[in-house]
Amino acid sequence: MNELIAPCIGYVVLMVFTPGPNNVSASALGLRMGYRGSLPYLLGIATGFLLLLLSGGLLTEFLARNYSLISRWLKWIGVLYMAWLAISLFIDSPKKQGRPVSFRDGYVAGFLLQFVNPKGILFGITLFTSFSAILTGSLGRILVSSVLVAAISFTSVSTWNLVGSALSGILARPSFHLAFNVVMALLLVYSSVSIALH
């Protein structure tokens, strides 16, 4: 059982720190609103991801058996949502002091993103099915492992958000801001195309 711990940790770190809807949207929001302004969204991501992980741990067998029935719907909802995120990068201007927080930038949006995020859903399923020997077996194990993975995920989206925040001074110039948005949009498009093709 202990020989699974290192591969499990490696898998978790790789999956939560690589570009995906959570990290890319967190980075773009950090650019526009800074870390403090993005915190409700980031907490929404963490809470939604925790709930998703708990569901994955508790319902792994059910989801594995029935995922093929719902996967195409989740896939296309996720693809459309990521495409909308990519387009929205070009609608908003850089952050302005006193700018009101929109629904899309708040806790509920970060929370709901988890349930149309195919990368997160597949991660929750594969994590608990691949490493069930160390992550499942009791409600306590599932709860502890879900909280730990959600905490690592919060670290990831916070890191990506801080990178976006740190770049906000540089990206105040319109040409740099446009280049950053193009890169973030391309990452979102790449994620959505990859999901659509698989």
- Bigger pLDDT: 168 or 9? 9
Domain that holds residue 132: 2-197
Identify which has the larger pLDDT, 134 or 103: 134
**pTM greater than 0.85:** no
Average pLDDT over residues 183-188: 73
Q: Both tokens of residue 87?
A: 């387009």
CA neighbor of 11 nearest in space, from 137, 158, 126, 148: 126
- Contact criterion met (CB below 8 Å) for 152 and 36: no
What pLDDT digit, counting tens, does each position of 105-154 carry? 789 988 988 888 877 887 887 788 778 778 877 888 889 999 999 999 99
| H helix intervals, 59-136 | 60-88, 107-113, 118-130, 132-135
Q: Mean pLDDT, to the nearest integer, of 163-187?
A: 76
Q: Are 23 and 127 in contact (CB under 8 A)?
A: no
Q: Quote the number of domains for the chain.
A: 1
Q: What is the pLDDT of residues 153-163, one digit of tens each?
A: 999 999 999 98
* pLDDT at 128 (0 to 100): 80
Are the C-beta atoms of residues 9 and 180 closer than 8 Å to each other? no
**What pLDDT sits at residue 48?**
94
C-alpha–C-alpha distance, residues 39 and 45, integer Å: 10
Give the number of other CB atoms < 10 A from CB of residue 114: 24
Lowest mean pLDDT among 66-80, 144-158, 174-188: 66-80
